[in-house]
Chains A and B, each alone.
Chain A
Amino acid sequence: MAAADGLAFHEFEEATNLLAETPDAATTSKSDQLTPKGHVVVAVGSGGSYGVEEEVEEEGDKTALLQEEKPQPGFWTFSYYQSFFDVDTSQVLDRIKGSLLPWPGHNFVRHHLRNRPDLYGPFWICATLAFVLAVTGNLTLVLAQRRDPSVHYSPQFHKVTVAGITIYCYAWLVPLALWGFLRWRKGIRERMGPYTFLETVCIYGYSLFVFIPTVVLWLIPVPWLQWLFGALALTLSAAGLVFTLWPVVREDTRLVAAVLLSTVVVLHALLAMGCKLYFFQPLPPEHIAPPSQATSLPPNILLTPTMTRSMATS
């Protein structure tokens, strides 16, 4: 771009060329940071290497501005929803890795989502988890029947429905409640804005990913190993949630922060335990009567304490 000639000549040449292409543009100097779309920016700085860097910067400025200036499509158009699926394979894999390895200073939303939440991850992770729960729950029954032929095997298809409803309700209603609560508290403090609803859904959706391999590992019929895997998965998942929510909650009063975080962890633990006890009914190794199947679980996760109590007594 820049030649060894006198810079003044070159500048005007460039400017005239560019102006010829875009006749209704005006030239501004580089010091003007805000470059609206219709303007042509001419590199006034010295040295040829500036050109490339400035182009990149301008591109970044332009695209940032374009994203702000583009009119948001209405929620009845298809492209509105398409903006939530604007992810590549590598990005989804990177987000999954980020959720598997939580780190105290490492905010999932800022580092991995980079303020571009997607709906692909939460939706398909929930679908996979629901089906994997139902399938492995059924497989444990098969394995139990091999050990003990009096156990009665049946496909148990209704568990698919139960699993689906439970997982989807948890992964979408709890973030809704959390988001609503954080927005309500936002009025109290001004410093850090809460996460948007989609970011909260993303946090919860990706945090459920660690349960998928755990559920598969629950096939191993060793009880203490199952509880170990469950505790490990719960720790990883809840740690991810807590580390991500901590920056938002830390400016609030101590009491509210403690109550909120402990509620989040307790709900997560309830989900994990409920799934373990409902889909993987522990069968004692002695000769037993066919296990009485539980009646269909109400889809509300808050009722799992009553369900676990009934499991213990039956």
Chain B
Amino acid sequence: MAEAAESPGDPGTTSPRPLFAGLSDISISQDIPIEGEITIPVRSRSRESDSSTLNESVRNTIMRDLKAVGKKFMHVLYPRKSNTLLRDWDLWGPLILCVTLALMLQRGSVDGEKDGGPQFAEVFVIVWFGAVTITLNSKLLGGNISFFQSLCVLGYCILPLTVAMLVCRLVLLADPGPVNFMVRLFVVIVMFVWSIVASTAFLADSQPPNRKALAVYPVFLFYFVISWMILTFTPQ
């Protein structure tokens, strides 16, 4: 069969003797009528693997997404100049981080008055609208990063501050005092610097060179506000 395929049966051949004259009388398999082009076997195999993600178990799908999110967390914690965060952006990580942060931050020090820490909705709005504003700002300044890539990077770089929130929560279980405050201040400052360094490593390259500072300053303001919310959190 392969030999028959190799001879293309070109209509333009001027050989007087038909090469495979008797071949048409041979039927390869009585059951399957072969007609149409003979495809390369590799292509049919890949078509099978495409449809196989539809048939895989739910556990596989979830684990694949979780692994992608985890890999991006590692990229944020050890920021190198890699393109993984930008190329395969997703918004699961930012959502998980934002919800965790908002749940932990909500209504610190409830006294029945209007004073108090931010509500869940306030944290959520600040994080998402802040990220959207910074993205719009960098795009308006002429950056060549796409909208969702930028949201993805800004959301993932909240991870150090979420870790800082967890540490602060644990430290606040101890007795309050100036030492308590200094430890929390130190942790929050370190994580704030880490967030800025991580997001700048990903975002700064996409800006025109004479506007980098203009694009990075709102990122600084954004993480500063989140750090202040974390630092001023006092449990009731």
Using CB atoms and an 8 Å cutoff, list the residues of chain A in contact with chain B: 78, 81-82, 84-85, 87-90, 92, 120, 124, 127-128, 131, 135, 138, 152-158, 161, 293, 295-296
Contact = CB atoms under 8 A, between A and B. Distances in A.
B234 A153 contact: yes
A127 B139 CA distance: 18
Interface in B113-162: 113-118, 122, 137, 139-142
Given A85-B140, A155-B117, A155-B233, A92 B214 contact: yes
Interface of A is mostly: helix
Contacts of A131: 221, 224-225
Contacts of B213: 89
B172 to A, nearest CB: 13
A87 B208 CA distance: 11
A154 B221 contact: no
Given A88-B210, A124-B218, A128-B221, A155 B137 contact: no
A158 B221 contact: no
A120 B115 contact: no
Interface string B79-92: 00000000000000
A155 B109 contact: yes
B104 to A, nearest CB: 14
B137 A154 contact: no
B31 interface: no
Given A124-B218, A128-B221, A293 B210 contact: no
A125 B93 CA distance: 31
A157 B117 CA distance: 5
Contacts of B142: 82, 85
A158 B115 CA distance: 7
B211 interface: yes
B141 A154 contact: no
Given A120-B137, A155-B109, A89 B115 contact: no
B113 A89 contact: no
Contact of A293 (B109, B113, B122, B139): B113
A156 B228 CA distance: 12
6 closest A-B pairs by CB: A154-B115, A85-B140, A88-B210, A155-B232, A89-B213, A155-B117
B75 interface: no
Interface in B205-231: 210-214, 217-218, 221, 224-225, 228-229
B177 to A, nearest CB: 12
Contact of A138 (B114, B140, B214, B232): B232
Contact of B234 (A82, A84, A88, A155): A155
Contacts of B228: 135
20 contacts: A82-B142, A85-B137, A85-B141, A88-B210, A88-B211, A120-B137, A124-B137, A124-B218, A124-B221, A131-B224, A154-B109, A154-B115, A154-B116, A154-B234, A155-B115, A155-B117, A155-B118, A155-B229, A156-B115, A293-B114
Contact of B214 (A78, A87, A153, A161): A87
Given A131-B225, A138-B232, A154-B113, 9 more contacts: A81-B140, A82-B142, A84-B140, A87-B214, A120-B141, A124-B217, A124-B218, A153-B234, A157-B122
Contacts of B225: 131
Contacts of B115: 154-158, 293
B214 A155 contact: no
A158 B214 contact: no
Nearest to B216: A89
B175 interface: no
A154 B214 contact: no
A131 B211 CA distance: 23
A82 B139 CA distance: 8
B111 interface: yes
Contacts of A295: 114
B109 A89 contact: no
Contacts of A84: 140
Q: A120, A152, A155: which has the most chain B beta carbons within 10 Å?
A: A155
A155 B114 contact: no
A156 B117 CA distance: 6
Contact of B108 (A120, A155, A293): A155
A89 to B, nearest CB: 4
A131 B220 CA distance: 12
A155 B115 CA distance: 7
B29 to A, nearest CB: 60
Contacts of B224: 131
A135 B108 CA distance: 16
A152 B234 CA distance: 12
A89 B122 CA distance: 31
Contacts of A127: 218, 221
A154 B109 CA distance: 7
A78 B221 CA distance: 25
A213 to B, nearest CB: 16
Nearest to A157: B118
